[in-house]
Amino acid sequence: MSKGLFITGTGTDVGKTYVTALLIKTLRQAHYNAAYYKAAISGAPSVAAGDAGYVNRTAQINEPENLLVPYTFTHAVSPHLASKLEGITIEKETILNGWKQVTARYPYVTVEGSGGIICPIRHDTTACYNLEDIIQWFHLPCIIVGTIGLGSINSFVLTAHYMQSKHLPVKGLIINRYHGGIMEDDNIAMITERTGLPVLAVVKEGDTSLSADPHKLAALYEGV
């Protein structure tokens, strides 16, 4: 049976893809056959130029990228809007079929969300899907990635509390773009105290590996 993990963030552009690539690379180097899935990517001229292409190359998954993402949009807006602008209907069945294919081939699949935790995937008179639905369809535990610095206490704690209020299981946090110093260290202490969540890894600017035990990382994934 395949296991999965959902990577959300405190917002867009906080390093979900960057960190996910390092996470999968770390697992693969420790001989865990790990792969990637993202339901919808916006703002990418091609699959290869988007998040799936970046992770595929950085973590050396070496799969045809279409397997890793069913929907790619050129407009750099939320998938629910990008799909409307591009005349494409996002179907639950297509997202689930893509998920079945990738989980049939890989025992560890890391799923990246779009934007932060509140991101509409489809919103019309026939259906509304949000990221929370995808997490529930796939039965995934989650981790929250965010940059550390001014404003990060607010964004991490709000994200964690929102997810807890929706009964989404959050396993911990990954701190990105850590430079050190009294403010960033205090931010981390405030965030862990207020969320009750552990820091699973700290990523610095330009890091090319994740300083975390791959076996502990693999243990975060749960059967789907």
Ligand X SMILES: Nc1ncnc2c1ncn2[C@@H]1O[C@H](COP(=O)(O)OP(=O)(O)OP(=O)(O)O)[C@@H](O)[C@H]1O
- Residues noted as catalytic: 38
Best CA proximity match to 170, nearest among 182, 183, 161: 161
**184 near Mg ion (CB under 5 A):** no
**51 near Mg ion (CB under 5 A):** yes
Return the bridge partners of 142, or none.
6, 170
Q: From the CB of 34, what's the least distance to ligand X, in Å?
A: 17
Q: From the CB of 177, what's the least distance to ligand X, in Å?
A: 5
Stretch that binds Mg ion, among 49-57, 70-78, 171-179, 197-205 (CB under 5 A): 49-57
Q: From the CB of 104, what's the least distance to ligand X, in Å?
A: 25
Strands 170-178 and 40-41: unpaired
Is 112 labeled as ligand-binding?
yes
Is 18 labeled as ligand-binding?
yes
Instruction: Pick what 130 binds: ligand X, Mg ion, none; C-beta below 5 to 8 Å, kind-dependent.
Output: none
For ligand X, the binding residues (CB under 6 A) are 9, 12-18, 51, 115, 176-177, 203, 205-207
**42 near Mg ion (CB under 5 A):** no
Q: From the CB of 28, what's the least distance to ligand X, in Å?
A: 18
Is 58 labeled as ligand-binding?
no
**Among positions 10, 14, 16, 80, the unique one binding Mg ion when judged by CB under 5 A:** 16
- Which residues bind to Mg ion, rule: CB under 5 A? 16-17, 51
Residue positions forming the annotated binding site for ATP? 13-18, 51, 112-115, 176-177
